[in-house]
Structure 1
Amino acid sequence: MVAQTSDGHVLLVKKLGGLFAIIFGCLLTAVGVALESGGTTFVGVLLLVLGAGLLVLKIVRRNERSSPP
């Protein structure tokens, strides 16, 4: 059963934003390591952390609403 939320668009943006941040983070990290560019690697790792954080926040928020009192 799918729960209806009033802020469904926000949750969708967090999920998609997190996935895109992880994908671009992986790409930038790989390019940064291959080219030995510290700045590019740092931005890639930062995007990876940001993407993972967004997905974790989304999962935690979903679990708080579905847990019984």
Structure 2
Amino acid sequence: MVAQASDGHILLVKKLGGLFAIIIGCMLTAVGMTFEYYGTTFVGVLFLALGAILLVLKIIRRNERPPLT
């Protein structure tokens, strides 16, 4: 389950980038919905989708390797 040393930075960037994008997306979506700024809401939803995609790509890449035996 331990990532290789060469892949460590890529996995960390995807994980932190995904979490950051989800947090920003939630905040932008909440502000947009509260004040009825549809452009802000749209950008927030895009950030939420980007964050989810980054986290899914991280999980897929981590699970590609065969299990250690």
Q: TM-score, normalised by structure 2?
A: 0.89
Question: Residues of 1 paired with 2:9 and 2:60: CA distance?
Answer: 17
| In 2: Cα distance, 1:7 partner to 1:14 partner | 11
Distance (whole Å) between structure 1 residues aligned to residue 15 and residue 3 of structure 2? 16
Letter in 2 for 1:14: K
Q: Secondary structure at the match of 2:63?
A: helix
Give matches, 1:23-62, under 5 Å.
23-62=23-62
Displacement of 1:67 in angstroms is: 4.5
The alpha-carbon deviation at position 4 of structure 1 amounts to 2.1
What is the rounded CA distance, in whole Å, between the counterparts of 2:7 and 2:42 in structure 1?
Answer: 32
Give unmatched runs, 5+ long, in structure 1: none
Task: Find runs of 4+ consecutive structure 1 residues off by over 4 angstroms.
Answer: none
2:57 corresponds to which letter in structure 1?
Answer: L
In the TM superposition, what is the alpha-carbon distance from 1:65 to its structure 2 partner? 1.5
Cα root mean square deviation, aligned: 1.5
Identity %: 76
Q: TM-score, normalised by structure 1?
A: 0.89
Q: Secondary structure at the match of 1:41?
A: helix
Gaps of 5+ in 2: none
